[in-house]
Amino acid sequence: MSQFNAYHKNARISAQKVRLVADLVRGMFADEALDTLKYQPQRGARMLEKVIKSAVGNAQDPDQNSGRSHRIEELVITDVRVDGGPMFKRIQPRARGMAFMIKKRSSHIRVGLTHIESVE
């Protein structure tokens, strides 16, 4: 059985913030993970929720899966990876003519789903 992936590249949130909720759903069934993320207050949970829904959509598309469609109850989140992306660099003026760097961080969110039969 193959793995179904979905990505959100250049998400405008730091990877550290998304990793907190990513650790929460790693290893869960996809429908349980979506229910869990729905009640999380973090902004990163909304982004991760969208990526999981996209991966579920990829798994349910019969054109990609050689005619097979997978049910959401049978899909397990096997891979959640949040990597750092490019940074916007800005200058903050400080006292005595100095300048500090402000780094507006972004991240790449990757979710991999696998059918329950291939996990066991």
Return the CATH number at 29: 3.90.470.10
Residue 44: in which H helix or E strand, if any?
helix 43-60
The answer to whether residue 56 sits within a structural domain is yes
Q: Which residues contact 74 (CB under 8 A, 6 or more apart)?
A: 115, 116, 117
Q: Is 21 left (phi over 0), alpha (psi -120 to 50) or beta?
A: alpha
pLDDT tens readout for residues 45-101: 999 999 999 999 988 887 766 667 778 888 999 999 999 999 999 999 999 999 999
Side chain identity, residue 112: G
The answer to whether residue 91 sits within a structural domain is no
The answer to whether residue 38 sits within a structural domain is yes
The answer to whether residue 65 sits within a structural domain is yes
Contact 58, 111 (CB under 8 A): no
Whether the per-residue pLDDT at 22 is higher than 80: the answer is: yes
- Tell me the C-alpha distance between 78 and 56, whole Å: 13
**The total number of structural domains that make up the chain:** 1
Contact 101, 89 (CB under 8 A): yes
The DSSP output letter for 100 is E
The answer to whether residue 95 sits within a structural domain is no
- The pTM of this model reads 0.89
The answer to whether residue 90 sits within a structural domain is no
Q: Containing domain of residue 55, as a range?
A: 3-82+108-119
Check residue 39 and give its pLDDT.
96
